[in-house]
Every structure is written in C-alpha cells, then in structure tokens.
Amino acid sequence: MECKNCGTEFEGNFCNCCGQKATTRRLTYKTLAESLMHGFLHVDKGVLYTLKMLFVNPGKIVADYISCKRVSYFQPFPLLIILSTIYGLFKHLLSPEKASHVNLASHIHADKIYMDTLNFIINHIVENYAFVNIFIIPPFIFAVMIAFRKVGSKNYNFVEYLFGGAYLSSLYIVISIVFLCLESILKNVTFLSGWEDYEFLAYFFITMRLFYQLFEGGIWGTTKRTIYAYLLYVLFLLIYILLGVGLLVLAIMAWNGIHSLFA
C-alpha cells in the first residue's frame, strides 16, 4: 500500500519510511472517540503501573530505568508534571483558602521596584508545583551522594540521579494527594491532627525503602544514612534557595539598571 503521509509503498502495519500507521484514515467522530480512548487508556496504564511499582519496589524501578529497562514505565519528568498539576488542582479544590504569599519587602531593605518584582517572581514559582518539585531535586541529590558514598552512590551519575529524583518526587506527590484527601474527609477527627508529621513519616519510610533497594547495606545502615541525607538536604536546600534568591536580586537590579540607561 501507499503511505498517506510520505507516499512510500510498503507492506505491513507501519510505513518503513516515516512510521505512520497503515490504518490511518480520514478524521471522523469514530476516530475522535478512538483517539481519546487510546490516549486515556495508554496514559492510565503506564501511569498506574509505574505508580504501583514505585510503591512496591521504588528502588527496582529506578534501577531498571537507569539500566535501560524503560518500556514498561511512564517517563519520570512527564509523570512529575502530570502529578504536580493534579496536586495543584486538588489543593485548590480541597483547600480553597488563600495561601500565604512570600513578601521579602518587609525583610529586606531595598528599592521597592526590586522587591515587588522579586516577590512576584518568587510567588509565581511557588505556585507552580511542577517547577518547585523539579527545582528541589538537585540539593537532595548532593545530599544522597554524600550520605551513601560508601555504599554505592558513585555507581550513578548526576543525570541518572535526576531521573531517580523525579520518580521519588512523583511518589511524594501521590502521598501528598492521599493525605490532602484524608485531611479534607477527616478534618474534624481530633486524634488525627498533625497531618504533616504522618506525611513526613510516609516520605521517610518510602525513601528509606528506595535507598535500601538501590544501595548496599542493611536496614540499620540505610536508616542512619537516610537520616543523614535528610539533614544534609535541609542545609543544602537553604543554601540553594539563598543562592537562587541572590541571583534573582542581581538579575533584577541589572535589568532595571540597563532599563534606566535607555529610559
């Protein structure tokens, strides 16, 4: 048959030149329904299987993805973006109260235009859950590389850690969605107050399980190194944020300086 896309004659289900399906036909309502169903089913199958594996064997899925066994798993960064979007939607629906915004102008004595611009940028970033989750991965990677340096952290490069961190962040978001829903349903149950503590424990144990499967060492050693990694992460994240804010301030001041020269 002749390919409707490139005109190449071929046999089989796909064009051997451009890869288009042999069954490609005119767009109709049936085509629309099939396309939507295929899209939803394909994404759901990949996402649900990946999330299941992240809960059951988080270390295995990261090791598989790093070792090129990827066909069964949904890609980590698209997964992180999708889940961050879902979390943002749930957050607005279940916690409609206005979130507190950062206001650096009250803490830093500087020109108002600089601070107003900086406040706008930071608050816009904070509201973008996908960006925030991607932004905080690098300091966590450095913490893990140091904490687990004696039990195999050198076996992986920084980019491989980025992909593993995206999977772990995706798992964190799913846990956050579950706790957000529970908090909304059981908000009047007094003995279940302090959701942040339970949520953090869930983060900790799922992270420790991932490290136990990914690196060498026993349970006790993994527990100690996971705690050490979290402590380092807090320190690195603080430095990371301060550097980011400092660079933003310098960029805004430079931009306004250039703008004033040509004004």
Q: Please report whether residue 210 resides in a domain.
A: yes
Contact 70, 163 (CB under 8 A): no
Q: Please report whether residue 50 resides in a domain.
A: no
Alpha-carbon distance values, 82 to 43, 79, 123 (Å): 11, 5, 21
Q: Please report whether residue 27 resides in a domain.
A: no
Could you give the residue ranges of the DSSP H alpha helices within 95-157? 112-127, 129-135, 137-147
Phi and psi for 9 in degrees, rounded to 5? -80, 135
Give the model's pLDDT for residue 62: 92
Q: Please report whether residue 54 resides in a domain.
A: no
Residues 132 and 85: their CA atoms lie apart, in Å, by 12
pLDDT beyond 80 at 60? yes
How is residue 153 annotated by DSSP? G
The residue type of 34 is E
Give the model's pLDDT for residue 121: 56
**Residues sharing a CB contact under 8 Å with residue 72, sequence separation 6 or more, in sequence order:** 49, 64
Per the structure, the complete domain to which residue 115 belongs is given by: 74-262
Q: Which residue has the higher pLDDT, 245 or 136?
A: 136
Q: Please report whether residue 41 resides in a domain.
A: no
CA atoms within 13 A on the CB side of 55: 9
Q: Please report whether residue 118 resides in a domain.
A: yes
Q: Please report whether residue 16 resides in a domain.
A: no
Q: What is the pLDDT of residues 143-157, one digit of tens each?
A: 999 999 999 899 999
Q: How many domains does the chain have?
A: 1
Contact 44, 32 (CB under 8 A): no
Number of C-beta neighbours around residue 132 at 10 A: 13
Q: 77: which 2 tokens?
A: 């960064």
Residues 144 and 132: their CA atoms lie apart, in Å, by 19
Contact 160, 137 (CB under 8 A): no
Q: Please report whether residue 63 resides in a domain.
A: no
* Average pLDDT rounded to a whole number, residues 26-51: 66
Give the model's pLDDT for residue 16: 83
Contact 64, 73 (CB under 8 A): yes
The average confidence (pLDDT) of the chain is 79
% helix / strand / coil in the chain, to the nearest 5? Answer: 75, 0, 25
The whole-model pTM stands at 0.72
Contact 50, 73 (CB under 8 A): yes
Distant-in-sequence contacts of 26-34, Cβ < 8 A, 24+ apart: none
Residues 185 and 154: their CA atoms lie apart, in Å, by 44
3-state secondary structure of 236: helix
Q: What is the pLDDT of residues 61-89, one digit of tens each?
A: 999 998 888 878 888 898 888 888 888 88
